[in-house]
């Protein structure tokens, strides 16, 4: 399944907002066009290449054919956790072994993750300390524990995708130049010099930063942008490294991040493709918590071709999340 590299017509949900914070599915039974907003319903899957609602089996087929699956969520939305669990179960039922990567965990907490999944530690409190949860994410662990529990139950690998939060802050404060010489960063194999900028990524992300955080100085916008680059490149490097060494085609890497990190295939998927240097089958699944009173949100995602698939789910406790600038 090809990933999208398209210039958006409008801005999507902000990757920048996430940066600052961190600094039973029923399918349609037949294909139907989605020109009429009244057709938008929870549990529908939309194929953006076809601009159509498709049977859930179409998504299932794409998942089983992919080497890397990118799931984009709205943070702390229960229906998005449920959708991710469904994806993992589909892979297992299809004879594939998932490798789950989560934005909510960071590189410096990997040993704690490994020990917890191996039952070397059983206390959740100890696990959260060793995995650096509070230092790097800090929200309610219970909101994301079903994914960790599922990996533990089914004995597959779970990797932290995020660079450690102190390093992200350092980039946001000082910018990217010279970070490869920082002794604290050297042990993480950060490339120096850092990869050249991607004009398409800059156009999308920089516009979103300005819309979501108006009134700042240009140099502040630039540093926030560079921190976004640092995080996306870093998360991509975990996927790339794992994909290079995985043993067989029966393994599928499942990346679970905020939806802003997969939009248009730019932030992480395109970087993974560049880092690997060889073709890889990738599919992007954008989870959208549907507000029936705002069908225009779905229409906009379709027009922008935000991902390969959009999966409509139930609203979370925080309700609809308006786009910056609305």
Residue that wins the pLDDT comparison between 266 and 190: 266
Position 183 pLDDT exceeds 70: yes
Mean predicted confidence (pLDDT) in 291-314:
95
**Strand ranges across the sheet with 52-54:** 32-33, 52-54, 45-47, 309-313, 282-289, 68-73, 251-258, 97-106, 158-162
**What are the tens digits of pLDDT across the range 29-45?**
333 444 455 579 999 99
Over residues 247-251, the mean pLDDT reads 71
Please tell me the predicted confidence (pLDDT) of residue 176: 84
Q: What is the pLDDT of residue 3?
A: 38
Mean pLDDT along residues 135-148: 95
pLDDT confidence band for 26 (50 / 70 / 90): very low
* β-strands 158-162, 97-106 pairing: parallel
Collapsing DSSP to helix, strand or coil, 312 comes out as strand
Domains of the chain, by residue range, sit at 15-313
Q: How far apart are CA 159 and CA 251, in angstroms?
A: 14
Task: Decide: helix, strand or coil at residue 236.
Answer: helix
107 has pLDDT over 90: yes
Q: What is the mean pLDDT of residues 111-128?
A: 97
Confidence of residue 173 (pLDDT cuts 50, 70, 90): confident
Residue 270 has, within 13 A of its CA and on its CB side, a CA count of 18
212 or 249, higher pLDDT: 212
pLDDT higher than threshold 90 for residue 131: yes
Query: What is the reported pLDDT for 17?
Result: 47
Residues of the chain with pLDDT > 70, as a percent, come to 84
Average pLDDT, rounded, for the chain:
86
pLDDT value of position 39: 76
247 has pLDDT over 90: no
Q: Alpha carbon of 262 to those of 36, 193, 220, 265, 315: distances in Å?
A: 26, 24, 24, 5, 20
Render 117-146 in DSSP notation, one character per residue: HTTS---HHHHHHHTTHHHHT-S-GGGTHH
pLDDT score recorded for residue 286: 98
Closest CA to 25 of 290, 311, 309: 311
Contact 283, 62 (CB under 8 A): yes
pLDDT in tens, 192-246: 677 878 999 999 999 999 988 888 999 999 999 999 999 999 999 999 999 887 6
Instruction: State yes or no: pLDDT of 22 exceeds 60.
Output: no
Predicted local confidence at residue 301, as pLDDT: 95
Taking the domain 15-313, which CATH number applies?
A: 3.40.50.11550
Q: What is the pLDDT of residue 102?
A: 98
Check pLDDT > 50 for residue 20. no
Greater confidence, 250 or 270? 270
Report the C-alpha gap between 83 and 256 in whole angstroms.
11
């Amino acid at each position: 399944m090809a990933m999208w590299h398209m210039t958006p017509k409008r801005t999507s949900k902000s990757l920048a907002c996430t940066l600052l914070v961190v600094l039973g599915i029923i399918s349609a039974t037949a294909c139907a066009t989605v020109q009429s907003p009244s057709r938008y319903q929870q549990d529908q899957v939309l194929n953006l290449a076809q601009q159509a609602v498709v049977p859930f089996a179409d998504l299932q087929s794409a998942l089983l054919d992919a080497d890397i699956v990118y799931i984009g969520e709205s943070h702390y939305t229960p229906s998005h956790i449920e959708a991710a669990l469904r994806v993992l179960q589909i892979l297992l039922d299809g004879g594939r072994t998932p490798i789950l990567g989560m934005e909510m965990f960071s590189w410096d907490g990997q040993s704690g993750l490994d020990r917890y999944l191996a039952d070397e530690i059983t206390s959740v409190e100890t696990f959260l300390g060793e995995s650096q949860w509070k230092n790097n994410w800090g929200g309610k662990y219970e909101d994301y524990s079903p994914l960790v529990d599922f990996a533990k139950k089914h004995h597959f690998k779970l990797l932290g995708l995020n660079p450690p939060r102190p390093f992200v802050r350092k980039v946001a404060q000082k910018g990217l130049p010279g970070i490869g010489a920082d002794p604290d960063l050297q042990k993480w194999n950060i490339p120096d010099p850092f990869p050249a900028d991607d004009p398409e990524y800059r156009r999308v992300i920089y516009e979103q930063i300005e819309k979501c955080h108006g009134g700042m100085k240009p140099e502040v916008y630039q540093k926030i942008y560079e921190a976004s680059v640092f995080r996306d490149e870093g998360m991509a490097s975990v996927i790339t490294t794992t994909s290079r060494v995985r043993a067989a085609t029966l393994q599928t890497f499942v990346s679970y991040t905020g939806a802003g990190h997969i939009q248009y295939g730019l932030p992480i998927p395109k970087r993974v493709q560049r880092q690997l240097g060889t073709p890889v089958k990738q599919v992007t699944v954008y989870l959208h918590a549907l507000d029936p009173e705002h069908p225009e949100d779905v229409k906009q995602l379709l027009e922008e071709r935000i991902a390969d698939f959009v999966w409509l789910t139930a609203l979370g406790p925080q309700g609809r999340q308006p786009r910056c600038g609305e």
